[in-house]
Amino acid sequence: MVMKTRDKFIEVARQLFARKGVENTTMNDIASASDKGRRTIYTYFKSKRDIFNAVIESETDQLLSRLRHIVARQSSPEEKLMEYVECRFETMKEIVSRNGSLRAGFFRDVRKVDRARKIITRKETAMLRDILQEGVEQGVFDIPNLNHMSVIITQAIHGLDVPYIRDNLSDEGIDKVLLKRYVADLILNGIRRR
């Protein structure tokens, strides 16, 4: 299948950003590696920042697709929540790992991390809210304010992205498997109807 020009620019930019870093990649580099002219790239993107945001959006679309699949499953809200947490951590790890040197620069710049997260946070929060709502309707979760709880859980999971990806908690005896289980248990035990 022939890749659309815009999608080709995004994939080529992702590869260049991963290999050379965002700072060391120019729009000329992207156009040249795509076998297109500079004018063509500017037809689709105004700046390197625009194409960087498109790369992040493209990468996070994979995450959102996987999470949507979990939300749509015919399983219990508890199972969905456990799978959601595991999938979220693992997919973010894959995205960061796939993007090579982008890893280090990405995490050093807190503003870049925040901008990238804003792209998907609302969507993630809405999907999580759907799982929680289903649990409330089935009488297995006791949540006084679904909107607030969805935001808090989403932000708590986001806060563990870097420690999970870097495996920072292993020094404390908490490997990635334990971390996923502890986070899911913490959430479930906090909202499960007693």
Query: What are 33-76's pLDDT values in tens digits?
Result: 999 988 999 999 999 989 988 888 888 888 999 999 999 999 99
**CB 30, CB 14: distance < 8 Å:** no
d(CA 140, CA 81): 12
**Is the predicted pLDDT of residue 132 greater than 90, yes or no?**
yes
Question: Where residue 164 falls among pLDDT bands split at 50, 70, 90?
Answer: confident
Amino acid letter, residue 142: D
Q: What confidence score (pLDDT) does residue 160 get? A: 87
CB 139 within 8 A of CB 193: yes
pTM over 0.85: no
Dist CA 47 CA 50 (whole Å): 5
Q: How confident is the model at residue 77 (pLDDT cuts 50, 70, 90)?
A: very high
Quote helix, strand, coil % in the chain, to nearest 5: 80, 0, 20
Gap between the Cα atoms of 158 and 107, Å rounded: 13
Q: How far, in Å, are 130, 135, 187, 189 from residue 77 at the CA level?
A: 9, 5, 12, 13
- DSSP codes joined into one string, 155-189: HHHHHTHHHHHHTGGGGGT--HHHHHHHHHHHHHH
Domains delineated in the chain:
5-44 (1.10.10.60), 49-191 (1.10.357.10)
